[in-house]
Amino acid sequence: MIRLNVFIRTTESNRDELVTIARELTAASLRDEGCVAYDLYESATRRDVLLICETWQDEASLAAHARQPHFTVLVPRLRELGEMKTEKFVF
């Protein structure tokens, strides 16, 4: 299994659009083969910080996800709206 924690820091002016796009990405990604979990979390103490927490069965599933249209269109838009940092764990 693979876990990705994708931290996103945004601005107040970009936040609403970023959350809308992240929710769209989450809904589409949950339908990807090999997706075990895909959740969006909003910080309770900092409005500028969000987290996408993904769990994938294996590298092949994660690689296939990265080629999906919802990923190739929405993730670049998220990068325009916020600063992203990814942590990867294999277990």
Strand partners of residue 85: 7
What domain count does the chain have? 1
- Judged by DSSP in three states, 66 sits in helix
Closest CA to 71 of 41, 11, 30, 42: 30
pTM of the model: 0.94
The domain spanning residue 60 has which CATH number?
Answer: 3.30.70.100
Closest CA to 6 of 83, 87, 81: 87
Domain containing residue 74: 2-90
Note down pLDDT in tens along the chain; length 91 residues: 999 999 999 999 999 999 999 999 999 999 999 999 999 999 999 999 999 999 999 999 999 999 999 999 999 999 999 999 999 999 9
- The dihedrals phi and psi of 58, each to the nearest 5 degrees, come to -165, 175
